[in-house]
Structure 1
Amino acid sequence: MMSLRIEILNEGGFRSDGRRQYELREITFDSTTQASSDGSARVTHGLTEVLVSVFGPREARVRSQTLHDRATIHVEASIAPLSTGDRRRRGRGDKRILELAAMIKATFEPVVQTSLYPRSQIDIFVQVLQQDGGVLQAAINATTIALINAGVPLTDYVCAVTGGAHAAAPMLDLTALEESDLPHMTVASMPRSGRLTLVSMETRLHIDRFEEILRLAGEAGAVIHKEMRAVVKERTKGLLEGMSIGLRVSKAAEEDAMVENE
């Protein structure tokens, strides 16, 4: 019996979802999702969707883990059972979930200015709502926006993208189908400084392909950075307008009170 296999890249140079090799999926950012948190963001990369909530800096919950000279970063991750076709329920001790949380923590520890908040803790909660490849990149990009929304100072934006090695040419922003078939890695870069804060290799890559994917991921990071800046700028504009309206209302109320007292 002949097995059916979906072609990763057809003769015309198009992928199964109609993109070219270096083309990114549609990215959306929503930073008004969790009113109870200090900052949050919901990010989609194609069909992959991740929600991140940030709490803090606040008093550390475990005194033995408190650092006198900087804040500690605590990351918890969860994956919705219905986010994939297997519908497997993953507990907090699941290896994949622990690895996801550990990589996010390692990515942001050099970027968050923890020295400004000694003896405190910053909690990051990551929820994978849907997954179709690029879960780590979506989680990192969502965490960047959530931390900025929480007012946590960063040395730079962190922008992540996956890259894979195809026989014809490297590919960016892989779907789940492509990740299962191609050697790939996730690269998190800081566009303004040009530095890398994470390179996570899922499989072995030839050194020539590694360098090429690294370069392409840096260029893709600059594109994602532009999208992030636009979202942050729009949200900041909205906050300033809200503050301006609040000040005008407060001033009008004070003037009315003064008139009544005359």
Structure 2
Amino acid sequence: MSDKPERFIDDEGLRLDGRRVDEIRPMKVEMGVLSRADGSCYLEWGNNKVLAAVYGPRELHPRRMQKPNEVLVRYKYNMASFSVEDRIRPGPSRRSTEISKVSGEAFEPVVMTQYYPGAVIDVFAEVLQADAGTRTAAINAATLALADAGIPMKGLVSACAVGKVDGQLVLDLNKPEDNYGQADLPVAMTQDGEITLLQMDGHLTPEELEEGLEMVKKGCQQIIEIQREALISRYGNEDEEGEEAEEDSPEEVPESEEGEEEEGERDGSFDNEESEAENLDENEVTKEDEGEEDERQ
């Protein structure tokens, strides 16, 4: 406890990392980073570094786990043993199992599972470097990985956390605030504002909980915009190239004009044939006249 800061918010309202109480940490997103996955995303959020990959839809084994009317979405959250300063034991733990379950349920309202009955979609979220808020960062990365894989969804899911330090609510906790703060409230919601995940560690009054949900809603809206920009930057260029190709293509001749040209060609060919026939008739006539003159002589 010796490294606990004396104050988390100074007199000017700035936190330890220079942010205001309602600001989120900088976020960097890169999609399509794994060639063997159907969809993938690498996300940096503050000092968090998360890699998400999606495989499927594909056949589910064993068959007894298959759902006859919908696809099974399996979400696996894991922290690498080197992701924190104090090396953790590799492999699954009670914490990772719990986070995997609740995070997977956060996608149930948006993933359109009815299109792939009996199949499975595997979502893997690997935390490479942890700095508080890893479960929310993993959800944000997994959402983009699902979109990158072409999984039909009703919308995007964004996640953010709100906490309490120095008796004041703050958005998107960093590591010191998460370790020594008075409360932590991670939330995931759809772009329509429907909450799909809500957990709380600590103590908040009903009034603080209501205010915290309003703060986290604004934070999720900012993350939704970042996710949209990432999708546009990955897939928007292809659409623009397609439009440019259509603009550069030669103009098509209207069918009416083509028909007129064909009729004109046909008319010309008929005229030539008629003129040749007239010339042949004239030659025959002259030959007959010559023959009659010879007989007379």
Same fold at TM > 0.5: yes
CA distance in 2, matches of 1:87, 1:54: 27
CA distance in 1, matches of 2:64, 2:187: 33
The letter of the residue matching 1:42 is Y
Distance 1:214 1:35, change over 3 A: same
Who is 2:184 aligned against? Answer: 184
Percent identical among aligned pairs is 32
- SS of 1:156 mapped into structure 2: coil
CA distance in 2, matches of 1:74, 1:60: 11
Who is 2:206 aligned against? Answer: 207
The reply to whether residue 145 of structure 1 matches residue 144 of structure 2 is yes
- SS of 1:170 mapped into structure 2: strand
The letter of the residue matching 1:116 is Y
Which structure has the larger Rg over C-alpha atoms? 2
Who is 2:223 aligned against? Answer: 224
The reply to whether residue 198 of structure 1 matches residue 218 of structure 2 is no
- SS of 2:54 mapped into structure 1: strand
- SS of 2:143 mapped into structure 1: helix
The reply to whether residue 21 of structure 1 matches residue 41 of structure 2 is no
The letter of the residue matching 2:46 is G
CA distance in 1, matches of 2:108, 2:30: 24
Corresponding pairs, count: 244
- SS of 1:215 mapped into structure 2: helix
- SS of 2:76 mapped into structure 1: strand
CA distance in 1, matches of 2:199, 2:214: 15
User: Aligned ranges for residues 1-262 of structure 1 at < 5 Å?
Assistant: 3-6=2-5, 7-92=7-92, 94-182=93-181, 183-191=183-191, 193-240=192-239
Who is 2:248 aligned against? Answer: none
After superposition, the C-alpha distances for 1:129-176 in whole angstroms (9 at most, x for unaligned) are 001111011001001100000000111111110100234531011112
Give 1:189 shift: 1.3
After superposition, the C-alpha distances for 1:63-115 in whole angstroms (9 at most, x for unaligned) are 111000000011222211111111112312x1111112112111112221101
Q: In terms of mean alpha carbon deviation, does 107-116 or 233-242 score higher?
A: 233-242
CA distance in 2, matches of 1:51, 1:35: 13
CA distance in 1, matches of 2:2, 2:65: 53
Point out 4+ residue stretches in structure 1 off by more than 6 angstroms: 241-246
Preserved contact between residue 165 and residue 209 of structure 1 (Cα < 8 Å) = no
Structure 2, unaligned runs of 5 or more: 246-297
Preserved contact between residue 133 and residue 172 of structure 2 (Cα < 8 Å) = yes
Preserved contact between residue 32 and residue 148 of structure 2 (Cα < 8 Å) = no
CA distance in 1, matches of 2:167, 2:100: 33
Q: In terms of mean alpha carbon deviation, does 129-138 or 82-91 score higher?
A: 82-91
- SS of 2:85 mapped into structure 1: coil
CA distance in 1, matches of 2:244, 2:79: 40
CA distance in 2, matches of 1:3, 1:48: 24
Distance 1:232 1:168, change over 3 A: same
After superposition, the C-alpha distances for 1:109-128 in whole angstroms (9 at most, x for unaligned) are 22211011111100001100
The letter of the residue matching 1:102 is K
Preserved contact between residue 78 and residue 90 of structure 1 (Cα < 8 Å) = no
Distance 1:243 1:117, change over 3 A: farther
Structure 1, unaligned runs of 5 or more: 247-262
Give 1:3 shift: 4.1
Please provide the CA RMSD for this pair. 2.0
Give 1:4 shift: 4.8
The letter of the residue matching 2:66 is T
Distance 1:149 1:245, change over 3 A: farther
CA distance in 2, matches of 1:30, 1:112: 22
Give 1:240 shift: 4.2
Preserved contact between residue 9 and residue 166 of structure 2 (Cα < 8 Å) = no
Distance 1:32 1:245, change over 3 A: farther
CA distance in 2, matches of 1:3, 1:126: 33
The letter of the residue matching 1:74 is R
TM-score, normalising length: structure 1: 0.87
CA distance in 2, matches of 1:203, 1:116: 40
After superposition, the C-alpha distances for 1:164-198 in whole angstroms (9 at most, x for unaligned) are 0234531011112111122011111112x221111
Preserved contact between residue 4 and residue 176 of structure 2 (Cα < 8 Å) = no
